[in-house]
Amino acid sequence: MTVPASSVALGDPAVRAAFREWLLRIADDELAIGHRHAEWTGVGPDIESDVAMSSIAQEELGHARLLYEQIAGEAPGAVDRLAFGRPPSEFRNAVLLEQPNQGWEFSITRLALYEAFESVRFGLLARSGQEPVAALAATLAREERYHGLFAATWLERLAGASVDAGGRVQAALDVAWPYALGFFETTDADGVLLRAGLVSDSAERQRDVWEAAVRPLLERCALTPPVAEPRLGGRRGVHTPALGEMHAAMTEVWASDPEARW
């Protein structure tokens, strides 16, 4: 029996740990932004968009759940222990995604930046050769398409409506952009995955692909990304106070009795 090349790669504990770290980043990203987007449910700027944003939130949470399952397995409660049972310092999400919603323009801008990144990353994961995760990534990417569409449609309308509205979106972009560059923050895991051939593009290359997707959209909206240093930390577990606040709410009930069935 021939052992698939991917299994050989994961036979190396260092590669296995790096791959796990990568999956955890993706899952934590989805959980953080899903949590923030879910906070819009019931208070969106108009009723129809409220409903649509809520679906996006649900799908992001759903993606987080499936990805956690890849890491934790399907034993009852395992996924929730991973999602709710870790302290904030063990979260690997990019700090952009834990930021509070602030305003609709910020959430829309963040969503547009994030979705472009998701499409790059799910592409890489789908080509990683690691089944069943690769197939899962290809499936999840299908839902991300609508998320990107929703973000772009909103962004274009807000930015193009008036000088005032455009200014607000630009201000949101000025805040979000440096954080978004934190998507590409690397740890030792990135080098390991590259060398093992599980990830085909370096972080620099990923950022180029992302910018090539994001900049034309921003240009179409007459928005200019600021020149700024990346805001890093998330991939190493160094977070902003926003994660602590979010984490406290998220774990409040679960932590009252982690053994209980809820």
Partner 1 sequence: MSTVSPAGDEAVRLERFTTRIASGDQIEAGEWMPEQYRFEALRLIQMHANSEIMGALPEREWIPRAPTLARKMALTAKVQDEVGHGMLLYRVAETIGRPREEMYAELVEGRARFHNVFHYPAETWADVAIIQVFVDGAAMQTQGALRSCSYAPYSRVLKRICYEEDFHIQLGLDVWRALAEGTPAQRAMLQDALNRWWTPIIHFFGMPDRVSPHTEAMLAWRLKVKSNEELRQQFLRRFVPVILEYGLVVPDPGLRWLETEQRYEYTEPDWDELKRVGRNGGPKSAERLALRQSFYRQHAWVREALSRWSQAAA
Partner 2 sequence: MTPRGVEAARRTEAPWVRTLEAADGVWAVFLQARRRDAHVHVGDVHAPDAEMALVLAKENYARRDPCVSLWVVPARAIRGTASDAADMFEPATDKSYRFGGSYRQQQRVYRGGYSAGPTEDDR
Binding site for partner 1 (CB under 8 A): 31, 35, 38-39, 41-48, 50-51, 54-55, 57-58, 61-62, 64-65, 68, 79-80, 83-84, 103-105, 157-158, 160-162, 164-165, 168, 246, 249-250, 252-254, 256-257, 260-262
**Pick from 123, 120, 71: which is nearest to 92 by CA?**
71
Residue 63 CB neighbour total at 10 angstroms:
26
> Binding partner of residue 164 among partner 1, partner 2, none, CB under 5 to 8 Å per kind?
partner 1
51 near 24, Cβ under 8 Å? Answer: no
Distance between CA atoms of residues 257 and 86, nearest Å: 14
- The correct pick among 41, 119, 153, 187 for binding partner 2 (CB under 8 A) is 153
49 lines the binding site for partner 2 (CB under 8 A): yes
Coil, strand, or helix at residue 189? helix
Integer CA distances (angstroms), 259 to 7, 55, 71, 186, 254, in order: 34, 30, 20, 35, 9
- Give me the phi and psi of 102, to 5 degrees please: 55, -85
Compute the least distance from the CB of residue 255 to partner 1, in Å: 9
Compute the least distance from the CB of residue 127 to partner 1, in Å: 27
Which parts of 164-193 interact with partner 2 (CB under 8 A)?
none
42 lines the binding site for partner 2 (CB under 8 A): no
Counting every residue written for the chain, the total comes to 262
Q: Using CB under 8 A, count the residues that bind partner 2.
A: 14
**Residue ranges in contact with partner 2 by CB under 8 A:** 46-49, 51-52, 54-55, 146, 149-150, 153-154, 157
